[in-house]
Amino acid sequence: MLIKTDSLTLAEQLSNRFAERIRTRLLAPGARLPSVRLCAQQQGVSPSTVVAAYDQLLAQGLVLAERNRGFYVRSGREKDLKVPVNASLHDTNSIATDDPPGRPSKQHVPINATALIRGMFHGISDKPQPGMGVFPSDWLQTSFMQAAVRRVTQKSELDSYSLHYGEPAGDLGLRQSLAIKLAAINVQAQASQIITTVGATHALDVVSRTLLKAGDCVMVEEPGWAIEFARLDALGMRILAVPRGPDGPDLGMMAQLCEAHAPKLFVSVSVLHNPTGFCLSPGSAHRVLQLANQHNFHIVEDDTYSHLAPEHAIRLSALDGLQRTIYVSGFSKILAPGWRVGFMAAPTALFERLLDTKLLATLTTPALLEKAMAYCIDQGQLRRHAERIRTRLDLARSRSVKLALAAGCTFAAPPAGLFGWVDTGMDTDRLAQRMLDLGYLLAPGGLFHAARQPSTLMRINFATTQDAQFWKVFARVQSQARSAK
């Protein structure tokens, strides 16, 4: 709520609010600001106040005005626009404050996944955040992590691990522990096939940089993980979206893409797919591996949420025996986000190439934290901790589902794992900006498409949406947005 003060006018407060979102990329480059009329309704101010605020943003060079269309966050491609940077809202002959009737709004820029990440790290407010991709920190608190660190930081060990680079492939003890852990989910890997990384995202990046070059085609599941889309796009890859259903990827579409584009890689989340929660069926897994062999591409299997899934869940890497698959996972989601311990298990034929890429990027990974992680695994503490998290998550999911349904939402996929794929019945990009004003960061459905498009879906975190207050605010904003149409 904007309140006039002696130090700041309402226009200055509104301008500052948008400026902060632009600088922290919560409003991505190319994103359209609300029309003057809509913004005035949302913020409870007069249209003249919005005009003054937008003029201030123009003066700061943070937004651009496009003739007869509206105002957009500056993207660095200003030469493509037909209105100079210093155009004013008061130039009523050139600037429209609402979309002209019958004309579609400007196409959104490609996905900017960093907006969600920055929002997570910047702390929008002290409220539970529905769009978060991680567990709340209080869920992860343990006593055994400190004990594990103390154990590996005794004087002799501290000197040994701190004053020398670690092993190139990662701590051998951890890799041996990981081999045993993988065997429990039927992924057969020797320690000599495992490489530790700075989190699972780093592992995905190492795979991409090793197997691909700019311009190569990569198949991804859609909806899918926004950060992976953005990362591949930044590397110059051609992204081929394969629709993801309850049993797995659309096999017909996948076969067509293979014939037409000869992709080099397929990125898949087989178990507790993000954002839908779907798990791969045996039949789909078998056909995907057939396509990989037929068309000579590799599969990187992101199993980040393996700690939340039943051990009998189907993994491509288990069926394939790490021939064409590369298995990726880590511990940031379930135990220690700040430790940044991840790993990959790879075909023997690719091991040295992948290791070379890791060494070029990071040299080695921190031996101290890897040894501490190995201790947590070997003592059974990680397993017991994951069991407690799953039990707590089951209860949270049950509460969140009831609240979401009561708020008029429906589920586009059966609730499972950490995330729910929720249909709100209206454009979630618009909802997200309004909820941001009230201290809540949403994850709108458009984020989970390789090319951003309007969506009525959003991803919710079950651990952070069991708060009835959020759903009350959500229902009120949703009702107001519908009334404003």
The ranges assigned to domains in the chain are: 1-109, 114-139+384-483, 142-381
Q: Distance of CA 352 to CAs 131, 198, 226, 416, Å?
A: 38, 18, 29, 37
Phi and psi at residue 470, to the nearest 5°: -60, -45
CB atoms within 10 A of CB 186: 15
Give pTM, 2 decimals: 0.82
pLDDT digits (tens, 9 = 90+) for 360-389: 989 899 899 999 999 999 999 999 999 999
pLDDT at 124: 67
pLDDT digits (tens, 9 = 90+) for 270-291: 999 999 999 999 999 999 999 9
pLDDT at 265: 98
- CATH number for region 1-109: 1.10.10.10
3-state DSSP of 392-419: HHHHHHHHHHHHHHHCCCEECCCCECCE
The one-letter code for the residue type at 189 is A
Q: What is the spatial distance between Cα 439 and Cα 445, in angstroms, rounded to a whole number?
A: 19
pLDDT at 107: 35
DSSP state of 78: G
Chain centre distance of CA 80:
30
pLDDT at 101: 39
pLDDT at 113: 59
pLDDT at 353: 98
Q: What is the spatial distance between Cα 211 and Cα 297, in angstroms, rounded to a whole number?
A: 10
CB atoms within 10 A of CB 74: 18
Fold classification of 114-139+384-483 (topology level)? Aspartate Aminotransferase, domain 1 (3.90.1150)
Contact 214, 237 (CB under 8 A): yes
Q: Average pLDDT for consecutive 10-residue bins of the chain (485 residues)?
A: 78 88 77 85 87 90 84 66 41 41 35 56 76 92 92 78 86 97 96 97 96 96 91 93 96 97 97 96 97 98 94 93 97 92 98 97 91 95 96 97 96 96 92 86 90 89 95 91 71
pLDDT at 160: 74
CB atoms within 10 A of CB 3: 8
Pairing type for strands 457-461 and 443-444 reads: antiparallel
Q: Which residue has the tokens 């632009």?
A: 22
And the tokens for 368?
């101290």
pLDDT at 484: 66
CB atoms within 10 A of CB 214: 8
Fold classification of 142-381 (topology level)? Aspartate Aminotransferase; domain 2 (3.40.640)
Half-sphere exposure of 141 (CA within 13 A, CB side): 4
pLDDT at 88: 44
